[in-house]
Amino acid sequence: MFWIGILLVLISGVGNYIYFQSSKLEEPIFLEHYITKNIFDDQETVEIGFNYLIDKHEFIHVSYVEVNGVILTPTNEGRVWFGDGQEQISYKQAFNQNYLMEVLLEIPISEVPIDFSKEVWTFEEIDVTFSNHQQVHTNIGTVTIGMNEENTDVFEHRSSSDSGDRASEDVLEVKKSVRLEEIRLPYKQVENQLHMQINSKPYVASEFGAMELQKDDSLILQFSTDENLTSFIELDVALHGVTENEGDFTYMLTVIREPWLNQTSVNQLVKESKDQLK
């Protein structure tokens, strides 16, 4: 009996070790982010957040990020210190073998090699250096930073409500009679993930025709996402159109969606990442 017990412990040790090795991440996995940020003339910095999965056993956090030669430094450390010197990991979500972490990064606008009055800054890939000196080159979805384009007072934002994590509703009051000609999502990929309804009718942004709006009408915009969303969305939906007297206008509506991951979606993300690295 004694020897069977010892043998069982050994088998369990080897088995767990093999499982641990096979599920260990080669490198942290960054989720997809679809972000647009509008800046104003006198703005010096803009903050963006990236989410990534790490192994629970090796707690690491982002030291800095480099994009097109611009260094982005974290404004949160990914860890909290208690009074007694004990270190507590601050994570967003915990899974069997992974933590979902968020790093908030400050972008110094003056150091970006872009003339923001003429163009926007878009990037899809970043170089990340972690606290253990591991360097990772990774895709993070798409980030676009540009000057604020909003130039209108045709809509007044009446209310905004969130029904849970996956749906939101914004009510706009029309102040002038206008012809709404285009609703533009900044990224094509997001169209499949972010479902839009205008006045309770579903629309696909790219197929939106035109809509005549009278003064004092209400425009209700609803956005919802699927339950299994794994990307982060923080973008401005642009409403373009013409007014009767004042020409073109653009109105920006910010939509933010964060996924709530579960073990199944984490397993899937880990699997996809491993397949990619092969």
Partner 1 sequence: MKVAFTKITWGLIIILIDIHIFVDILPNPIGYYLIYQGVVNLTNQIDGEKKASYLAAILTFISIPSVFIPQNQGDLFLETFSLWSMYPLLLGLLKLVLVFYIFQLMLDISRLAEVSNIHQLTTRLCNSYVILSLLFYIIETFSINFVGNGFNTIKVIVTIVMLIWEIRLLILVNHYKKVKPISLV
Only segment of 25-33, 44-52, 93-101, 170-178 that touches partner 1 (CB under 8 A) = 93-101
Q: Based on CB atoms, which residue is closest to partner 1, 57 or 133? A: 57
Instruction: Determine, following the binding rule CB under 8 A, whether residue 92 of this chain makes contact with partner 1.
Output: no
Q: What's the closest the beta carbon of residue 253 comes to partner 1, in angstroms?
A: 40
Instruction: Determine, following the binding rule CB under 8 A, whether residue 8 of this chain makes contact with partner 1.
Output: yes
Pick the binder of partner 1 from 94, 204, 210, 256 (CB under 8 A).
Answer: 94
Cα dihedral 182/186/190/196 (nearest 10): -30
Pick the binder of partner 1 from 44, 47, 58, 162 (CB under 8 A).
Answer: 58
Q: Which residues pair with 162 in a beta bridge?
A: 168
Residue type for position 206: S
Q: Based on CB atoms, which residue is closest to partner 1, 60 or 71? A: 60
Beta strands per DSSP E along 75-217 = 79-81, 87-89, 93-94, 98-108, 121-130, 135-147, 155-163, 167-174, 178-184, 194-198, 201-203, 211-213
Distance spanning both ends of the chain, measured CA to CA: 44
Q: Please tell me the distance from the alpha carbon of residue 109 to that of residue 185, in angstroms, as a whole number.
A: 24
Q: Based on CB atoms, which residue is closest to partner 1, 17 or 162? A: 17
Q: Please tell me the distance from the alpha carbon of residue 72 to that of residue 66, in angstroms, as a whole number.
A: 6
Only segment of 19-27, 78-86, 101-109, 214-222 that touches partner 1 (CB under 8 A) = 19-27
Only segment of 13-21, 190-198, 233-241, 267-275 that touches partner 1 (CB under 8 A) = 13-21
**Rounded to 5°, angle at Cα 118 from 44 and 109:** 15
Contact 252, 240 (CB under 8 A): no
Q: What's the closest the beta carbon of residue 59 comes to partner 1, in angstroms?
A: 10
Pick the binder of partner 1 from 10, 80, 210, 256 (CB under 8 A).
Answer: 10
Pick the binder of partner 1 from 86, 88, 96, 110 (CB under 8 A).
Answer: 96
Instruction: Determine, following the binding rule CB under 8 A, whether residue 86 of this chain makes contact with partner 1.
Output: no
Instruction: Determine, following the binding rule CB under 8 A, whether residue 264 of this chain makes contact with partner 1.
Output: no
Contact 185, 235 (CB under 8 A): yes
Contact residues toward partner 1 (CB under 8 A) are: 2, 5-6, 8-10, 12-17, 19-21, 23, 56-58, 94, 96-97
